[in-house]
A and B are shown apart, each in its own frame.
Chain A
Amino acid sequence: MTRPGQQSESDLLRLTAAGDEQAFRALYGQFQAPVYRFALHMSGSVAVAEDVTQEVFMTLIEKRSRFDASRGALRSYLIGMARNLLLRRFEADQRLVAFPDADSCNGAPAPHSDNHAIPSVPPPDPERSENIQRVRQAVLSLPADYRETVVLCELQEFSYDQAAEILGCPVGTIRSRLHRARTMLAEKLRVRAVLTARPEKSLGFRSAP
């Protein structure tokens, strides 16, 4: 008999729909992390990432999924579903506020700014950690279509082909979006570096004589 780990994605889905809990556990174990990380990087919020992950897998439980193995991998399908849920959330949720950035993006669906922000791991090197935090914030301030490209290709290390499958666009679009997104990130980080280097000037204070 085939064990859940050895079954194809379609078999696991079919068994899940038929009420096989082991199959569902196998499916969840295999795919929850990339879905969760995508939602976390896109939203900047643990709470949103949890909700979205739960919603994606609820779709499988409720047999509402329309997965077609001939059109791509299940992982891409699930992340694509998470993406749709996030975009809908970004559009609908009035609580979303733009990241307080000096040059925040125009009209970008901004990520969450709540009490469930991505927890920071204790830094081995505070300066480096601060730098990573700046990069994370810069990524979160990108417009959604650029942000998702960075999240997939840079933070989740998907190939251009896989990212194109998830986002439903040509590989050339992924390439150009990533180029543009990286240019925007570099600009944001440059501005930040200048602001950080001269905080008193940016705040309008003068040092005492």
Chain B
Amino acid sequence: MNCAEFRNLIHDLAREDTPADVALHDALAHAESCPACDALLREAEQLTADLRLLAIRHNSESAPERVETALLRAFRERHSPAPRLRKVGGWLAVSAVGLAAAALFAVLLTGYPDRTSPESPLAPQAAPRETNRPSPREMWADYALEGETAEEAAAAYIPLAAEFDPSWLEGGAIVRVVLSRPALESLGVPVNAGSDGRMLADMVVSNDGTPEAIRIVDWQVSDIQ
């Protein structure tokens, strides 16, 4: 083995990580016979030792607790309902306009529906609340008021998520809340210009606690009912 070959291997030797096909004895024999290469090998071994010491010095280091605290705060904010509600404000305005346009379009196409006609899409359905969550569409039945159909409930509620999926309603609950006008407006719910006080609303809350939809029950309440 000559000096050039030895120097190509020097760091592998110092790290005790020589490739399998290398004749280790040849390399060490060269180091013994060549003082310059021997000195380089010692230097490389010292470097290995120093790097290991540096690694040991830091191998118990970890991110300070404040990083975890900040991340957990962000995690909770991300997964709590509040920011979601704030974010959907703009979308809700668009969705409300969309719903109104869809309703107008339906009225123009079909004329005012006759609630007594069994063919009417708005005709009461047979006992929707007694069915056991039969389909996503009918899941709204659980959130309908007395005498109201699933479709009517679905039309009355304004979804609070950009990509609302009715299956989120499964296992959810209605929470009746009293909200101020600014709170409603922040949700993107269109507020009657004359309503300055507090309003009564039903909020559909899914089983993970996320508000999914809202509808106004009473535009003017004096106290919690």
Q: Interface segment, A83-91, A92-100, A127-135?
A: A127-135
Q: How far is the CB of A178 from chain B (nearest CB, A)?
A: 7
Count of inter-chain pairs, beta carbons less than 8 A: 94
| Contacts A21-B75, A24-B75, A61-B75 given; does A183 touch B51 at CB 8 Å | no
From B54, B58, B78, B208, give the contact of A61 (CB < 8 A). Answer: B78
1/0 per residue, CB under 8 A from B, across A162-188: the answer is 000000000000000011001101100
A21 with B72: CB separation less than 8 A: yes
- Establish whether residues B53 and A128, one from each chain, have CB atoms under 8 Å apart when the complex forms: yes
Q: Which of A21, A49, A57 has the most CB of B within 10 A?
A: A57
Establish whether residues A135 and B67, one from each chain, have CB atoms under 8 Å apart when the complex forms: no
| Chain B: CB-nearest residue to A136 | B54
Q: Which of B43, B48, B59 contacts A37 (CB 8 A)?
A: B59
Is B43 touching A186 in the complex (CB atoms < 8 A)? yes
B-side interface residues, number (CB < 8 Å)? 34
- Contacting residue for A182 out of B47, B59, B75, CB 8 A: B47
The dominant DSSP class at the A interface is helix
Query: Are A135 and B51 interface neighbours, CB within 8 A?
Result: yes
**B55→A40 contact, CB < 8 A:** no
CA of A36 to CA of B44, assembled, Å? 28
Residues from chain A with Cβ under 8 Å of B74 in the complex = 58, 61
Is B63 in contact with A19, judged by CB distance below 8 angstroms?
no
Decide if the interface of chain B is mainly helix, strand, loop or mixed: helix
Interchain CB contact under 8 A, B208 and A28: no
A13 on interface, CB distance cutoff 8 Å: no
User: Would you call A11 an interface residue if the criterion is a C-beta within 8 Å of the partner chain's C-beta atoms?
Assistant: no
A32 contacts partner chain B, Cβ-Cβ < 8 Å: yes
A residues whose Cβ falls under 8 Å from a Cβ of B: 19, 21, 24-25, 28, 32-33, 35-37, 40-41, 49-50, 53-54, 57-58, 61-62, 118, 121, 128, 131-132, 135-136, 139, 150, 154-157, 178-179, 182-183, 185-186, 189-190
8 residue pairs A–B, Cβ–Cβ below 8 Å = A19-B78, A37-B59, A37-B62, A54-B71, A121-B57, A135-B50, A182-B11, A185-B47
In the bound complex, CA of A182 to CA of B40 (Å): 12
Cβ contacts under 8 Å, B50 to chain A: 131-132, 135
Q: Does B86 contact A (CB under 8 A)?
A: no
CA distance A53 to B67 in the complex (A): 8
Residue of B nearest to A150 (CB): B51
